[in-house]
C-alpha cells in the first residue's frame, strides 16, 4: 500500500522552474514546453501533466512498464472506468501534424511498399513484408512500422492496422483502418526460402512469412493529422504481468517501454512489481494522467468494470 501511494504521489507531483525543465523532451524548445505545461495545468487541473522522462524514471524505479492499452489484460475498477470514459481533450489539444514524418515511416525498414495516387482521385497503399518466421502466427503481425492486430467481430476475422509514430520522446500507436481477409485486403502466406552458398547447394532452407496489406490511400489522413483523442491508444503504466494481450508480439525497450517487435526478437524477461496501473492520455510533449488505482483493483467491484 505504501509503495502504491509513493507511485501515485510521483504521478501527482508538479515540479516548477528548473525542476520542470529537466524533464523536457530532448528536441522540444524550452519555450514551447513551458507554455504546454502551463496550458495543461490550467485547462486540466485534475489531470497532472507528466513527460516521458518522468514515466521512464518511475517505471525503472518500481519495476513497471508503460504500454498501449490494447496490450493491457486486467480488469478496471468502476471508478477508474468512469474517469476514463468521462475524460475529454479539448479540440485545440487533440490533434498533432505528422506529415514530415509520414513518408519516412512508410519507407523505413527492409520492406517493399507501393503507394498509388491516380489522377482521378482515390488511390491505394500496398504494404508488403517477408521475414523469417517458423512458429505459430501471432495475433499481432508487424509490417514495417505498421502492426496488424487480429480480432473477430460477430465471428468475422479482421485486422486492425496501427502505425507506430514517434512524438518527441514518446511512441504513439495510431489506428489507421481495418482490413478483412475475406476481401483480399490482407494475405498471409507461409513459404520456405532456400539460401545458397559456393560450397553447398542449397545451403539451408528457412521458413518465412509473407504479408501483403492493401487499403485506400485516403486512410493515411489519420497518420498525417493525428487525432490524439480518438485514434491514438492511451498508455498504461503497470507491472509486466498485467500485459497479456499479444504478449508474444511485444518487447521491452529502454528498460520500461512496451513496443511491438519483429518476430526474430527474443521475448524480454518478465518484470514483476506492485499492481498499480496508471492510465495516461498522450498529448504533445508528454501525457495527462487520466486515472490510477491500486488495492481496489483486487476488490469485487472490478467485476462490473471494463474488461480489456
**Better-predicted residue by pLDDT, 215 or 41:** 41
pLDDT band for 135, please (50, 70, 90 cuts): low
Query: How many domains, in total, are found in the chain?
Result: 2
Query: Whose CA is closest to 54, among 99, 86, 87, 7?
Result: 7
Q: 13 and 56 in one domain?
A: yes
**DSSP classification of residue 52:** H
The pLDDT score that the predictor gives to residue 106 is 57
Q: 236 and 190 in one domain?
A: no
Q: 279 and 212 in one domain?
A: no
Instruction: Choose the final residue of a domain: 174, 208, 224.
Output: 224
List the single range of 16-20, 51-55, 108-112 with lowest mean pLDDT: 108-112
Q: What is 115-180 written as a DSSP string?
A: EE--TTS--EEEEEEEEE--SPPPSEEEETTEEEEEEEETTEEEEEEEEEEEETTEEEEEEEEEE-
The most confident of 99-108, 138-147, 155-164, 251-260, by mean pLDDT: 251-260
Query: Whose CA is closest to 22, among 33, 13, 12?
Result: 33
Q: 273 and 212 in one domain?
A: no
Q: 235 and 211 in one domain?
A: no
pLDDT over threshold 90, residue 262: no
Q: 219 and 107 in one domain?
A: yes
Cα torsion for 72, 74, 79, 84, to the nearest 10°?
Answer: 20
Looking from the CA of 112 toward its CB, the CA atoms found within 13 Å total 6
pLDDT over threshold 70, residue 195: no
| For residues 227-253, average pLDDT | 91
Gyration radius of the chain's alpha carbons: 21
pLDDT band for 127, please (50, 70, 90 cuts): confident
Which three cell numbers mark 231? 485514434
Q: 122 and 80 in one domain?
A: no
The pLDDT score that the predictor gives to residue 109 is 46
Helix, coil or strand: residue 28: coil
Q: What is 59-107 written as a DSSP string?
A: HHHHT-EEEEGGG--SEE-HHHHHHHHH----GGGSEEE-HHHHHHHHH
pLDDT over threshold 50, residue 303: no
Query: Whose CA is closest to 278, among 53, 31, 48, 111?
Result: 48
**Better-predicted residue by pLDDT, 48 or 104:** 48
Q: 209 and 268 in one domain?
A: no
| For residues 99-121, average pLDDT | 52
- Contact present, 49 and 13 (Cβ < 8 Å): no
**Better-predicted residue by pLDDT, 245 or 298:** 245
The pLDDT score that the predictor gives to residue 76 is 87
**DSSP classification of residue 217:** G
Q: 215 and 104 in one domain?
A: yes
**DSSP classification of residue 109:** S
pLDDT band for 61, please (50, 70, 90 cuts): very high
- Contact present, 213 and 161 (Cβ < 8 Å): yes
pLDDT over threshold 50, residue 275: no
**Better-predicted residue by pLDDT, 268 or 205:** 205
| For residues 12-28, average pLDDT | 89
Which three cell numbers mark 275? 499492481
Q: 38 and 128 in one domain?
A: no
Angle at 271 between CA 267 and CA 273, to 5 degrees: 160
Helices (H), 167-261: 221-224
- Contact present, 49 and 42 (Cβ < 8 Å): no
The pLDDT score that the predictor gives to residue 50 is 93
- Contact present, 114 and 106 (Cβ < 8 Å): no
Q: 89 and 159 in one domain?
A: no
Instruction: Choose the final residue of a domain: 193, 209, 224.
Output: 224
Mean pLDDT for the chain overall: 77
**Distance (Å, whole) CA 138 – CA 35:** 43
Helix, coil or strand: residue 25: coil
The pLDDT score that the predictor gives to residue 305 is 45
The pLDDT score that the predictor gives to residue 104 is 54
The most confident of 135-144, 163-172, 266-275, by mean pLDDT: 163-172
| For residues 61-69, average pLDDT | 94
Tens of pLDDT along 196-225? 444 554 455 667 777 888 888 777 776 778
Q: 241 and 217 in one domain?
A: no
The pLDDT score that the predictor gives to residue 92 is 93
Residue 168 is part of which domain span?
Answer: 99-224
- What percent of the chain has a predicted confidence (pLDDT) above 90? 30
Instruction: Choose the final residue of a domain: 224, 250, 268.
Output: 224
The pLDDT score that the predictor gives to residue 101 is 59
Amino acid at each position: 500500500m505504501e509503495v502504491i501511494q509513493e507511485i501515485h504521489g510521483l504521478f501527482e507531483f508538479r515540479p516548477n522552474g528548473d525542476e520542470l525543465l529537466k524533464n523536457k523532451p530532448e528536441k522540444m524548445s524550452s519555450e514551447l514546453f513551458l507554455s504546454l505545461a502551463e496550458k495543461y495545468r490550467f485547462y486540466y487541473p485534475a489531470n497532472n501533466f507528466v513527460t516521458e522522462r518522468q514515466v521512464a524514471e518511475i517505471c525503472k524505479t518500481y519495476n513497471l512498464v508503460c504500454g498501449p492499452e490494447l496490450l493491457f489484460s486486467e480488469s478496471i475498477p468502476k471508478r477508474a472506468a468512469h474517469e476514463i470514459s468521462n475524460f475529454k481533450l479539448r479540440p485545440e489539444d487533440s490533434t498533432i501534424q505528422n506529415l514530415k514524418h509520414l513518408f519516412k515511416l512508410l519507407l523505413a525498414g527492409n520492406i517493399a511498399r507501393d503507394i498509388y495516387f491516380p489522377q482521378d482521385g482515390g488511390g491505394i497503399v500496398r504494404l508488403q513484408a517477408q521475414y523469417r518466421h517458423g512458429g505459430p502466427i501471432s495475433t499481432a503481425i508487424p509490417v514495417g512500422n505498421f502492426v496488424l492486430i487480429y480480432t473477430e467481430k460477430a465471428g468475422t476475422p479482421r485486422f486492425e492496422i496501427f502505425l507506430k509514430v514517434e512524438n518527441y520522446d514518446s511512441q504513439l500507436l495510431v489506428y489507421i483502418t481495418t482490413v478483412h481477409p475475406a476481401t483480399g485486403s490482407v494475405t498471409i502466406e507461409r513459404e520456405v526460402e532456400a539460401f545458397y552458398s559456393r560450397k553447398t547447394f542449397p545451403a539451408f532452407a528457412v521458413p518465412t512469412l509473407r504479408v501483403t496489406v492493401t487499403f485506400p490511400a485516403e486512410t493515411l489522413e489519420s497518420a498525417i493529422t493525428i487525432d490524439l483523442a480518438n485514434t491514438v491508444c492511451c498508455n498504461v503504466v503497470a507491472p509486466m504481468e498485467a500485459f497479456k494481450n499479444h504478449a508474444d508480439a511485444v518487447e521491452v525497450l529502454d528498460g520500461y517501454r512496451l513496443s511491438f517487435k519483429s518476430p526474430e526478437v527474443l521475448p524480454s524477461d518478465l518484470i514483476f512489481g506492485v499492481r498499480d496501473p496508471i492510465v495516461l492520455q498522450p498529448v504533445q510533449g508528454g501525457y495527462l494522467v487520466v486515472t490510477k488505482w491500486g488495492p481496489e483493483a483486487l476488490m469485487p467491484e472490478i467485476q462490473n468494470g471494463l474488461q480489456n
